[in-house]
Amino acid sequence: MNIDLSVGSLGNARPVAIVTAAVSRHLDQDIAPTLAALSDLGISTRVVEWDDPTVVWSDFALALVRSPWDYSTRLSEYLEWIDRVDSESTLVNEAAVLRWSSDKHYLLDLEREGVPIIPSTFLHSGDPVVLSSAGEFVVKPSVSAGSRDTQRYRSGESDKGILHAERLLAQGRDVLIQPYIASVDERGETALVCFDGVVSHAVRKGPILSHGSAMRTVDGLYAVEDISARNPTSEEVHVAALVNAAIPSSGPPTYVRIDLVQGDGGEILVLEVEANEPSLFLDLAPGSAHKYAASIARHFRD
């Protein structure tokens, strides 16, 4: 069925739930432009918290996962929530994508599909923790958000890195070890935002990992970042297309942010893929909120 997406055409449809969390709804700068753009399409909305027991999810046509930024510390509860809402409404992104993106083991899936990633080693409970003493490296949990519990170490600091990894493993968390990519200090990261598999816009994310000093965070949820608009290169757009094609879903995800870095040889490598609850930096790209809304609205035609 084709639906006219002009203003007011969807006024009689059930609303869209804009899903956030109590700790983050006041911090998510993408909510306001998303609400405005959906309103322009005649789509009613309601901002709700994912763990609010009073929410009746079947009241909503869609549950748009925006900013449940506490999920990484409550993963089993969050995954149960995904299953429950998936049975009562339509999740955006779809449940399989949300689950896949919640754990950085997805990097190995991408690598198997031929997507260039930063070399990644995962440690699990019971694994010996052995780190190379050559070259800078990063230790992080495989389930994390906002760079929490992530630390950069110098060459020769393997003892410190081992202690960090062992602490995470003792907490029952899998660990990801990656080399630190030197170009980030000058070039930063390129974050490409895609809607329905097509690049909408990109931003530059400045370096956030330093040596020996505590990372500045916002309410303990995510690292303070230096963000600015950036024009992506053709190679970055190409790698983003590879990622979109490799994500296990019924089609391109409605939204995804793909964070890329430049390797020592100039090659483009995937740092991470945020298809769960990414910041989309809509305020830095005029018109992007309406692209986002149009991608959300297509679910009314499915």
Q: Which are the catalytic amino acids?
A: 230, 257, 274
Assign 3-state DSSP to the chain and report helix, strand, coil percentages, each to 5. 30, 25, 45
Q: What's the token pair of residue 115?
A: 């997507």
- How far CA 114 is from CA of 68, 109, 148, 260, in Å, comes to 31, 9, 28, 15
Strands 16-20 and 45-49: parallel
- Which residue from 198, 132, 140 is spatially nearest to 164, judged by alpha carbons? 140
Q: Burial level of 283, CB count in 10 A (0-12/13-18/19+)?
A: middle
User: CB-based contacts of 85: which residues, under 8 Å, 6+ apart?
Assistant: 57, 63, 91
SS (H, E, C) 160-201: HHHHHHHHHHHCCCCEEEEECCCCHHHHCEEEEEEECCEEEE
Q: What's the token pair of residue 248?
A: 């296990």
